[in-house]
A and B are shown apart, each in its own frame.
Chain A
């Protein structure tokens, strides 16, 4: 591969890593900070992607929308709508142990997948939504990719900054108190369910934003664009390996796992076809095994959660 192709590929990877880093940050709010088990990340991601696509794409006959709104409106819509989807689920399930939330989020991701696949008037079903505008899309290829990379990095930076601020605020300390000792936090008068619901919706909103960034990067979306289980699982590995509870860990995990995942994909794609298919599933097996190994040998991840006191004297 010549140099320019390699550079292009690096930019492409960088954009996807940024999107995955956002997803990992969103999960960190839910799991790392609050201890909520969300097994339906792909569902919230898809809601964000489709919301933004419907709001910003040009009008199409036979489908709702194509409202042709500015991209910023699409992103805001993705954030709000993904957060709103989380509300009823959290309302029902957060009273119980997180096992119930895990099952319910698997369910909600499945329902979202069904809706996307079958509701032609809303999502264009298997044809999907095309002609989605892309910021800086009018520039030539390399410049456009670079500009989009800048945009994604900016989004990650903003979310990172906001979450870090939240973490160090009294709200962040309260969340950790709830996570680490629910009974004590309740005895201090903290409203556990309401706080968990906040964190769950906040995390879902970040995942929605990641979906919006993905859909404008791709310019189109179909139900087959992401495999729900594998996408969800990759993000879990990113967070656990990077270090749950640590935002820099989440981003680091996204980089490490995505690079390993795509390089291994490149390698297995070069194998003969009949072996390549098997190799694809062996990769997935290794992903599952990696989780077990991390849980066993380094449960705190590469960058453990910081435990230092940062309160002003």
Chain B
């Protein structure tokens, strides 16, 4: 196998998959860092987003890239609603109860998807797309657009978190909620804003996975482990860590087929998760440990 083949067959799919994981992992790391619990419904919210986009395409006949922002807005609203209905009242109880509630929410979201859209696999666009040649590197249009979309999302989010007043408030609450409150940060508004962003990120992750792969009701649940592995690998609470972690997990999964049977691809994320917890629980970029 030549270098260019190696890049085309393993690194390119790994980077595409990893960038999708990264979008999900950023949401996980934000909930983990700011609201301080492991959000187990994250994957199924992504499934919901992917199917909302599917319906938007079907109902309005728009292109998938117009459906994406629609799905992001809908999922942001769903995420805020979930928080108000199922998580908020557990605020003052041990956080692990919120984790449990989120597992229940995961089950509810998935069964809703199964009732509304059924259990069969589907896709946004039919037909086989031939990859284009970019100096020897083969890239499909959708893969190129996925990478661009992820880059836009990450840059936009980073700018928001670093420059805007609300972004700074979110980072303050992540660092120290009590101190943030003392400095006049309204925790409730920050919580709501966090959920809106997290919901939108979920929808984007689900949409991009559906675009590059297929849609089915279990797609998000299978995203959960790689997303958590990426978030913890990068360091909990660190957006750029989640990006790095996502890329590493994605590439590692695609490389794992060189030494493991293909059906164990999904085990790679689990191994990475256990190793990082064993060796360096703060993650590569020194995040939090809860």
Contact = CB atoms under 8 A, between A and B. Distances in A.
Interface string B94-127: 1111011101111110111011000100000000
B108 A288 contact: yes
Contact of B107 (A111, A229, A296): A229
A99 B95 contact: yes
Nearest to A89: B274
A35 B108 CA distance: 24
Given A295-B90, A296-B89, A100 B225 contact: no
Nearest to B281: A96
A233 B86 CA distance: 17
A106 B224 contact: yes
Interface stretch (A10-18, A68-76, A205-213, A276-284): A276-284
A284 B38 contact: no
B277 A92 contact: yes
The secondary structure that dominates the A interface is: helix
Interface residues of A, number: 43
A236 interface: yes
A117 B115 contact: no
A292 B101 contact: yes
Given A39-B103, A96-B277, A111-B267, A285 B38 contact: no
A111 B106 CA distance: 20
Contact of A97 (B96, B97, B112, B264): B96
B147 interface: no
A110 B226 CA distance: 12
B100 A295 contact: yes
A98 B96 contact: yes
Contacts of B156: none
A261 to B, nearest CB: 14
B96 A37 contact: yes
Contacts of A108: 270
A278 B115 CA distance: 5
Size bracket, chain B contacts: 35 or more
A295 B97 contact: yes
A281 B111 contact: yes
B106 to A, nearest CB: 8
Nearest to A37: B96
Interface string A142-161: 00000000000000000000
B289 A96 contact: yes
A285 B273 contact: no
Contacts of A111: 267, 270
B100 A97 contact: no
A98 B99 contact: yes
A114 B267 contact: yes
B290 interface: yes
A255 B250 CA distance: 44
Interface string A268-303: 000000000110011011011101100110010000
B182 interface: no
A295 B94 CA distance: 12
A289 B267 CA distance: 31
B96 A103 contact: no
Contacts of A284: 107, 110-111, 114
Interface string A252-278: 000000000000000000000000011
B221 interface: yes
Nearest to B227: A103
A237 to B, nearest CB: 9
Contact of A99 (B85, B86, B108, B290): B290
Contact of B115 (A93, A95, A106, A282): A282
Interface string B65-105: 00000000000000000000110011001111101110111
Nearest to B278: A92
B180 interface: no
Q: Which of B40, B107, B224, B263 has the most CB of A within 10 A?
A: B107
Contacts of B273: 103-104, 107
Interface string A29-40: 000000101010
Interface string A85-122: 00011001101111110111011101100100110000
B263 A114 contact: yes
Interface string B268-284: 01100110011001000
Interface of B: 32, 37-38, 40, 85-86, 89-90, 93-97, 99-101, 103-108, 110-112, 114-115, 119, 221, 224-225, 228, 232, 261, 263-264, 266-267, 269-270, 273-274, 277-278, 281, 289-290
- Closest 8 A-B residue pairs measured CB to CB? A288-B108, A99-B38, A291-B104, A288-B107, A107-B270, A285-B111, A284-B111, A281-B114
Interface of A: 35, 37, 39, 88-89, 92-93, 95-100, 102-104, 106-108, 110-111, 114, 117-118, 229-230, 233, 236, 240, 277-278, 281-282, 284-285, 287-289, 291-292, 295-296, 299
